[in-house]
Every structure is written in C-alpha cells, then in structure tokens.
Amino acid sequence: MTTKDEDLETFGDTILVTGGAGYIGSHTCKALAEAGYKPVVLDNFSNSNSWAVRWGPLEEGDIGDKGFLDGVMQRHQPKAVIHFAGLIEVGESVKHPARYYQNNVSGTISLLSAMERHGVDKIIFSSSAAVYGTPELPAPLDEECSKSPVNPYGQTKLMAEKIIADFGESYGLGYVLLRYFNAAGADPAGELGESHDPESHLIPRLLEAAHGSGAGATINGDDYDTPDGSCVRDYIHVSDLAAAHVLALGKLENGLKNGIYNLGYGRGYSVKEVLQAVCRVTGVEVKATIAPRRAGDPPSLVADPSKVITELGWSPKHDTLDEIVSTAWSWFSRQSQ
C-alpha cells in the first residue's frame, strides 16, 4: 500500500527517517505509520529499494548534501529524526574504510548540523553491537561494557554515538542510541523483507542456498572459541527492532533526554545452529563448506536486553530463531516466484 497524499492529513507528528527505504528503515516506517506518525523517507538508494517506500513521502538525496537537507527540513518540519542512513558491511569497511568514515561519520555530522539549524531537537540513532568489539567475557553484554571496535564499521558507529552525545550536551539535543545485534527475519504480514544485491547477511544467504535445492553455503571460520567453532550472534526479528524505535520516540516526546539501549534477545546462536534452523524450516538439506574467517568478526556478540525491557517497556513478539527464519523464508519464497 502506497500512502496517498490525502491520507497523510490523518497522521500525527512528522518523523524524518534517513535510510527509510532500507531493510530496517522500511520496517520502522511501517511501524511508525501504524502508531499514527507520518514517516518521511530520505534515501539515496545506494543500498535500498524504491518499492519499500510505502508509508509516507520520499525525499531522494544524500545526507551529505547541505542544500538538500535544508530543503527537506523546510518542506516537512519534522519533530524528530530516526537515522538509519549508513554503510553496514563489516568486511567492506575493512577494505574501504574511507567510504565508511565519510558516510557514517561525516554524513552524521551533516545531518546533525541541519537539525540544529532548523530546530529539530530529537534523534534516534541506528547504532550497532560492533561498538563493543571482541568482548572480554562471553556473557551477555550490557550497555556499560567496554567499547573497543575491531573494524572500521564499528569505529564509525562509536564515533557517531559520541558526536550525537556532544550535540546533546552543547545544543540540548535529545537522543536515543539503539545498539542492534543481528537484525533478521521479515514483516510477518509479508509486505517487506530483506533484499540486498549482493546479499551478505547469513540467513538470506542460507535461504538462497536452500532455494537452489541445497546448493552450497559458506561458513566463514570454524575455529573460534565458541561451542561449535563458528561465530555466535544474537538474532533479533526486524519487526521487534522496529517496535523499539517507536517506543524510543514516544519516550523522547515525553521528556526523555537521552538513552542508550542494546537490542537483542539475550541468547546467541552459532552459524551452524542457524544453518540447522534453515534446514528445518525449509525442509532442504543445505550443504556447507568451511572458509577462512572474515576480517573483523568477533567470536561472539550477545545482548543483555534488560535495560530496554525495563526502561522502554519493550516486549519482543517474534523471539524464536525458527520464527525469524520462517518469516524470512516466506518473504524470500514470494519474491522468487
């Protein structure tokens, strides 16, 4: 469903969503619209899809373009910004760090400066568990754990967090920093899903292999210090992730000045366990080969989500690995018909 112009009058506050045509951004736009907000998507389509812009108007352009940002702010006068626009591939960040610092750090400064010029004083930032680097202990990570990113992607996210906090201190910006663990799955209603070209995330890559009647999949490293030797991650359903943004926005509107929250379920699954879940859900025996470790990958990242549950009232609804894989498989299957 594409939102018609006449329907927009029924919405409440306007929220500017940078990167709103991307995977997590589009799911969040749907959640915002369902909560009564008017999401305005700002996207340059470097790694997103025009078909995902369905719940509000689109502004096509780049967050690094000062004149464009000023025009967007003047036209829409948003009450807040949710900032997803950023490059996200760990391996690519190791090969091309300059791109990541330019987009993720300089782009964030450009956006924050535009907000300050136009009096927009609330932001929710799409951060990452990559800020923690390689944890000293395998236990779930809380928000106070030491932060030592092991790749340029994580460094740019941590830098952006610090810059946002400085804007908060100097200009009174209200902010929520949401540190995602591994977003996965698809909209249970089937309207949205993950679609990258090329696809680098584990679950959709395994589903592509399953769709090829068990064609080979690759496991990057089986010699980590984990129970089965493969990396362990905390997988969180994208719709639960989107719901947390709506809750954070409500808290900012009701007086919260700043907050930092991990978003995960508090339990990890190894790459090999995810492979088993894909085989279970699809009914296809996917073959896996072992390849060298991927540069910049810590062995294990698992969240302690108690703070977001307690302070934001977040209550996950899709928190099993099989449901995550099932919604992703349903989406993938429909797109492949």
Owner of token pair 């009450």: 79
What residues does 175 pair with on adjacent strands? 123, 258
- What pTM does this model have? 0.93
289-318 pLDDT, tens per residue?
A: 999 998 778 889 999 999 999 999 999 999
Q: pLDDT over 90 for what percent of the chain?
A: 82
Check pLDDT > 80 for residue 9. no
φ, ψ (nearest 5 deg) of residue 65: -95, 105
Active site residue 153: yes
Q: Could you tell me if 209 and 286 are in contact, meaning their C-beta atoms sit under 8 angstroms apart?
A: yes
Q: Report the candidate in 181, 160, 180, 314 with the shortest Cα–Cα distance to residue 250.
A: 314
Q: Report the candidate in 179, 229, 333, 206 with the shortest Cα–Cα distance to residue 276.
A: 206
Cα dihedral 70, 28, 153, 300, rounded to 10, equals 160
Structure tokens at 307: 């703070």
pLDDT at position 47, please?
86
pLDDT at position 213, please?
66
- Active-site residue identified among 132, 153, 175, 269: 153
pLDDT at position 11, please?
54
Polymer length in residues for the chain: 337
Task: For CA atoms 259, 179, 335, 48, give the dihedral sign.
Answer: positive
Q: What is the 3-state secondary structure (H, E, C) of the chain?
A: CCCCHHHHHHCCCEEEEECCCCHHHHHHHHHHHHCCCEEEEEECCCCCCHHHCCCCCEEECCCCCHHHHHHHHHHHCCCEEEECCCCCCHHHHHHCHHHHHHHHHHHHHHHHHHHHHCCCCEEEEEEEHHHHECCCCCCCECCCCCCECCCHHHHHHHHHHHHHHHHHHHHCCEEEEEEECEEECCCCCCCCCCCCCCCCCHHHHHHHHHHCCCCCEEEECCCCCCCCCCCEECEEEHHHHHHHHHHHHHHHHCCCCEEEEEECCCCCEEHHHHHHHHHHHHCCCCCEEEECCCCCCCCEECECCHHHHHHHCCCCCCCCHHHHHHHHHHHHHHHCC
**Average confidence (pLDDT) over 210-220:** 82
What's the mean pLDDT when you consider all of the chain?
92
100-156 pLDDT, tens per residue?
A: 999 999 999 999 999 999 999 999 999 999 999 988 776 799 999 999 999 999 999
pLDDT at position 139, please?
78
List of domains in the chain = 12-184+236-264+305-312 (3.40.50.720), 202-232+267-304+321-335 (3.90.25.10)
* Cβ atoms < 10 Å from Cβ of 7: 14
What residues does 123 pair with on adjacent strands? 81, 175
Strands 38-43 and 14-18: parallel
Q: pLDDT class for 1, splitting at 50, 70, 90? A: very low
pLDDT at position 193, please?
92
12, amino acid identity: G
Check pLDDT > 50 for residue 197. yes
Instruction: Please enumerate in sequence order all residues whose Cβ is within 8 A of that of 233, keeping only pairs 6 or more positions apart, or say none.
Output: 181, 182, 202, 268, 269, 271, 300, 301, 302
